[in-house]
Structure 1
Amino acid sequence: MTDSGQFNSELMAFLDASPTPFHAVQSMQQRLQQAGFVRLDESQPWQLQPAGRYFTTRNGSSLIAFVRGTAALPEGGLRLIGAHTDSPCLMIKPHADLYAHGYHQLSVEVYGGALLNPWFDRDLSIAGRIVVSADGQLRSRLIDFKRPMAVIPSLAIHLDREANSDRTINPQNDIKPILLQGGDSSLQAIIAEQFMAADEQLVDYELSLYDCAGATLSGADSQFISSARLDNLLSCFVGLQSLLASDASHTAVLVCNDHEEVGSVSAVGADGPFLQAVLGRICGDQLDSALATSLLLSCDNAHALHPNFPAVHDAAHLPQLNGGPVIKTNVKQRYASNALGAALVKQLAGRCGVPLQSFVARNDMGCGSTIGPISAAKLGVNTLDIGIPQLAMHSARELTGASDPLRLVTLLTAFINSVAPLCVIAD
């Protein structure tokens, strides 16, 4: 795809359709099946064919899709792209209903390193997964109210004169969304009324709140994309579109893990066995030799220069929105990039006309991390951390450049289809 406007329209539709990791995986699965990818069941044997296109999911929140290339694995290597499906948010606790001073509120838990201030005074909806029982059988179901259901109002400035100079938020006491005024209803009853049959019982749920405002182009010249969950559903969509453009000459794999924002230690996270298990089925006894000639591009958004806070950046590393994808490096291995992977990607970017930028954190400040170092350590595969620059990371709503998503697709597609080996010759 060469039309940035068309691509961004599809990207924004994907973001709006994916309020939770479960919905993101469902959205990706639909696009894969429409493109002819075959769903594989982990509990069954796999019969993979050259040039075959496949995908599998785990927990409904992590997905691996791949094209089985025609080139021999040890020579061609694996073209791996990684991202994550989760984003910082407010998740609803199992015993959700709170009643105080005539209001029905919700008890929530902070998922990941969320910026809490932006969650106030927004129209919030509810989405996620429920498990219901009927006739002795359990069924899981995705739900999304798709309309404003709750709000966390700010305290008036007259009652909090220090709000603009010294405001702190207690995550236990201060972020209880208001769901209703009066009445004796429950969240379970509200769910049942809209999403369940009369003979069904609600057994459990995994639900979160999200900003109802949809993704949109922003700025006087529509130079920006404003949306929730850009970190890191943008990378999931970019990786998916790149995989769909595979010419099947090399084996290409897209992994989108859940639970990155809380450390990745789970059955479906990058520090779990999901990717290694799938690669073992793809490669068989050639896995170790294939990994030795492979490259993983860990795609997760990067910290763009904030014009109001330039001092928080290293003066020589100032990524700009709409300046191109960013290679992220960190000597403490918070990012997995090294010179070998960076040289390969820079060569590819030069060939396809994609500008690149660099990010290194200040020595006196920490930085985030990604699935890159975790996956590199689990697999022993050369890994590069790369991503599109954005502002307001971990907010209820984030901002990125409208030109950069298609640039990253162009680069990742070139990476997947490149005939060049994924290695640098040592003198």
Structure 2
Amino acid sequence: MHTREDDVLSLDEESTYPYAPEFLHFIDEAATVYHAADYFKRELIDAGYVELKESEDWIPKLKLGGKYYLTRNSSTLLAFAIGSAYKPGSPVAFIASHIDALCLKVKPVSNSGNAAPKGGFDRLGVAPYAGGGGAQRWDGSYSTWWDRDLGLGGRVLVQTKDGSVKENLVKLPNPVARIPSLAVHFGEPARGPFNYETQMVPIIGLTRNAEGKEEIIDGSLGKLHSARVLKAVAHELGVNPTDIVDFDLELFDFQKANLLGLSGEFISAPRLDDKLCSFSALTSLINATSDNSFMASSEVVSMVGLFDMEEVGSGLRQGAKGNLVQTVINRIVEAQVGLKEEEKSRYTTNLIGQTLGRSFMISADVTHAYNPNFDGIYLEGAAPALNKGVVIAADPNGHMTTDAVSITLMRLVAQSCNSELQLFQIRNDSRSGGTVGPTLSERLGCRSIDMSIPQLSMHSIRAMTGAGDPGIGVQFFEGFFRGYQAVQAKVLVQ
């Protein structure tokens, strides 16, 4: 994994908190869901993974010992490695997480109505990306977005000279937006309640440029968005503004991730939910499958799925409710890896059932760490600590997939890799969040569990975890990939 050139960690700190520098670098790179997927693609390519396209024939491509990845919508990524001893019907060891995060999405018309230039200011029309929506979501999750320096990035569709349209990623090099609060001196208006359509509109500049002229861009996009936004994006990409066909852009916290605490024992960062579990899951997959001895003896398909859309319900083709995982597993079995041509007819629904009946999924999403300032809201004995161990998340009402059998399996995995496990369950008088676990559990039918890395300030623009927690996650998840083949044979429960 890559590290930041400007890391200030000492050698002692690096050895105390393995993977902290790599994780800080990743968070800074992965400003949007598209940048996160692209970062992981590059890591997989460096580790020898081969890209697959859904529109291609996979049967001649999938080989024993092969390592592959694919993306959907440039925002969801799935990677898998086929053990050299794999036989059709053998299990899949699967970790599922999500790489989308709370942000402010640029509206399709971002320069008119309540976001039109006003009082000499250019403003940007945005909408909150988070489940629930509406004023309640603004009051809660987005209350921390006031007075923050915000960056702009995402994907841009550009038409080339030959008429084809290509996708480009963009991330402007400097913060460009801010949502200013009203000073407390104004009294009642500064205390709210606020109208988030009209009073939480980001300011991105002054209407007139340095020469005192208003800028205009020809074409349809020039009528929908600020000319200065279009020019800034085009300049970063090295294209003409009129070559931009459309884009999916978002505002994000521009401040870099950093270590925190007197001994650097914490990580302060944006987008922890859930680039934290995603980082640990994919790193563990690369680590395990880079070991030739593991791959040579493995009968298992080791797989990681990192999904978009979790924060808004996991819908659409790139969400966990889509058919990506089911389709990929079916195609792996259909390819009949390692079988002779005359045995291809053995591909049946029966083999798919065997595969899923032997498989296991970890739904990996962050959970709440113990906050010492709010002691009374935690269930006694189920308040996870930072820098201690991965967390088993339980909920009897179906918000989590955990049960006694899956806990038993993961305790065996933890023993095999010397990992410590913690527990979290919400109190009866509190509301539980959700994960991709229940959705995928319904669709796949394999055994599953919800496991987490703990954090504080969930859904704030900037959250906090332990400096050791990314590495703690890698240790356990890698242990899962390495140990599942042996562990699943010990638990004789259907």
TM-score normalised over the length of structure 1: 0.95
State how 1:6-405 maps to structure 2 within 5 Å. Answer: 6-46=18-58, 47-73=61-87, 76-97=90-111, 98-113=116-131, 115-135=141-161, 136-160=163-187, 167-183=192-208, 184-185=214-215, 186=226, 187-198=229-240, 200-246=242-288, 247-248=294-295, 249=298, 250-284=300-334, 285=347, 286-405=351-470
Residue by residue, what CA displacement relative to the aligned partner does 1:200-221 show, whole Å, maximum 9, x if unpaired? 5222111111111111111111
In 2, the alpha carbon distance for the partners of 1:36 and 1:30 equals: 10
In 2, the alpha carbon distance for the partners of 1:174 and 1:292 equals: 53
Residue 492 of structure 2 is aligned to residue 425 of structure 1: yes
Number of aligned residue pairs: 425
Structure 1 stretches of 5 or more lacking a match?
none
1:196 CA drift (Å) = 4.1
RMSD: 1.9
1:407 CA drift (Å) = 1.4
Which has the larger helix fraction? 2
SS of match in other structure, 1:420: helix
Residue by residue, what CA displacement relative to the aligned partner does 1:21-48 show, whole Å, maximum 9, x if unpaired? 1111100000000111111111111121
Residue by residue, what CA displacement relative to the aligned partner does 1:166-193 show, whole Å, maximum 9, x if unpaired? 6444331222111012313422233223
The alpha-carbon distance between structure 1 residues 210 and 199, as it changes in their structure 2 partners (threshold 3 A), is closer
SS of match in other structure, 2:395: coil
SS of match in other structure, 1:116: helix
Is the 8 Å Cα contact of residues 326 and 359 (structure 1) preserved in structure 2?
yes
Residue by residue, what CA displacement relative to the aligned partner does 1:50-101 show, whole Å, maximum 9, x if unpaired? 1111111111000110001133456751110111010011111111122011
Which has the larger strand fraction? 1
Structure 2 stretches of 5 or more lacking a match?
2-13, 132-136, 209-213, 216-225, 289-293, 335-346
Residue by residue, what CA displacement relative to the aligned partner does 1:106-145 show, whole Å, maximum 9, x if unpaired? 1110001462121111111100011122332211111000
Is the 8 Å Cα contact of residues 279 and 470 (structure 2) preserved in structure 1?
no
SS of match in other structure, 1:226: strand
TM-score normalised over the length of structure 2: 0.82
Residue 477 of structure 2 is aligned to residue 412 of structure 1: yes
Name the amino acid aligned to 2:448: T
In 2, the alpha carbon distance for the partners of 1:14 and 1:199 equals: 30
In 2, the alpha carbon distance for the partners of 1:349 and 1:360 equals: 20
The alpha-carbon distance between structure 1 residues 167 and 349, as it changes in their structure 2 partners (threshold 3 A), is farther
The percentage of counterpart residues that share the same residue type is 34
| Displaced runs of 4 or more, over 6 A | none
SS of match in other structure, 1:365: coil
